[in-house]
Amino acid sequence: MIFQHSTHQYTDKLKKLKTSKIIADGNSLTSGQGSTNGNKYPEQLSRFYPISSTSISITNLGVGAQTTLDMLSDAVSQVDTLYNEALNYNFLLVWEIRNHLVQNAPTNTFAFDKFKEYCLARKTAGFTVIIATISPSWSASYRGDSTVTGYNLLESDRLAINVMLREQWTDFADGLASFPKIGNTGVNVVDGYVYSTSTPAPSTNGMFIDGTHCTNAGYEKVSNSFLIEIYKLLK
């Protein structure tokens, strides 16, 4: 259990949580592609205790195909305007980088730096920022390569960025939700995925519905990871 505190500590934390808000920004993983029946990760978060015992506002700004660059462009008008200084916490949950890699093919360091830029600007705006590592993903083509070599390059960039996130997150965020393995069945597992020498494929462990997006069960794990970080930050 993550909520093992004295009654007094817990009551104080719950009071502060009740006068807070949560905003989630990101790509199709945040908008909930692959989920059914209201099980996007922000929606599941609202049903987890202790958030379920409050009327806290949760806003989902996730957009399919959105990249870090899109988020940077839209943030001042779409995110910063939602900040409420009267609240104890304005939590901002940020989960991206994957689309920036696949759609724009930057170096992994550039992709990391633009994500960091987005987060630092939101902290300056007053938000309590919680980021997440990049989950395993497959793309039909990466940097023009549609073979397993392209998949392995994407995986290499993903893992390199996750190392940077884990080592440097305190420089630009308040919390890090880390979920390195969501599914891990089969042979030749690469951080949650099974692939042949020709066609990468998602694990059939019930956590992914395709090569990138989660099932309801996968999004539940994501929600739990963010919930742990939110609770850690309540003081």
- pLDDT tens per residue across span 201-211: 544 467 777 77
> What pairs with residue 193 in β-bridges?
190, 202
For residues 137 and 190, is the Cβ–Cβ distance under 8 A? no
The whole-chain average pLDDT of the chain stands at: 85
Helices (H), the chain: 7-18, 28-31, 41-45, 68-78, 98-104, 108-124, 148-168, 216-233
How far is the C-alpha of 212 from the C-alpha of 155, rounded, in Å?
12
How far is the C-alpha of 200 from the C-alpha of 188, rounded, in Å?
11
pLDDT in tens, 146-189: 877 888 899 899 989 999 999 999 999 999 998 755 443 333 33
**What is the residue extent of each domain of the chain?**
7-233
What contacts 214, CB < 8 A, 6 or more positions away?
Answer: 29, 34, 35, 41, 135, 182, 207, 208, 221, 222
How far is the C-alpha of 95 from the C-alpha of 132, rounded, in Å?
5
How far is the C-alpha of 235 from the C-alpha of 231, rounded, in Å?
9
How far is the C-alpha of 189 from the C-alpha of 114, rounded, in Å?
30
7-233 fold: Rossmann fold (3.40.50)
Give residue 81's pLDDT.
Answer: 98
